[in-house]
Amino acid sequence: MEITQVKKKSLLVLVTGDPRFTETVAEALRLAAGVAVWKRFSVNVCLIGPAVLACGERADDLPQGKLIQHFIPMIRESGGEIFLKPDGQPLDELDPEWVLTQVIKVERLAQLAADADRVFRF
């Protein structure tokens, strides 16, 4: 009897809110982390525009900064990636390691969206 593995479904969460002025960024990351820890979905997140500030060096100072800083590691520890698409947002507030390793080009983002079973946008 041959055993076949079922491919894990994938979720891409796109976040465009500004974490300085809305709780939506923290809520999107909370949702992504909650799904990621189930391990039933492969979860990736793309922070777009001002949402990239959630990975900034001063993220703890954001209104929901403590929650944001709690959820990002949960996603990564569950095998997910946090991608950044600054779209004109200055990169000087971001951790240089994040800029070097996680900034994504539009073509790669389009491929992630096309390959995902589900895409949520916040």
pLDDT tens-place string over residues 52-90? 999 888 888 888 988 899 999 999 999 999 999 999 888
Q: Is the pTM of this model over 0.85?
A: yes
Q: Give me the residue spans of the domains in the chain.
A: 9-121
State pLDDT tens for residues 10-32: 999 999 999 999 999 999 999 99
Q: What contacts 24+ positions apart, CB below 8 Å, involve 5-10? A: 8/39, 8/40, 8/41, 8/42, 9/40, 9/41, 9/42, 9/117, 9/118, 10/41, 10/42, 10/43, 10/44, 10/115, 10/116, 10/117, 10/118
Counted residue by residue, the chain has a size of 122
Q: How high is the pLDDT of residue 93?
A: 81
Q: Kindly report the CATH number that applies to the domain delimited by 9-121.
A: 3.40.1260.10
Q: 3-state DSSP call for residue 13? A: strand
Q: What was the pLDDT predicted at 115?
A: 96
Report the pLDDT value the prediction gives residue 88, as an integer from 0 to 100. 86
The two three-digit tokens of residue 31, written as one number? 């949702």
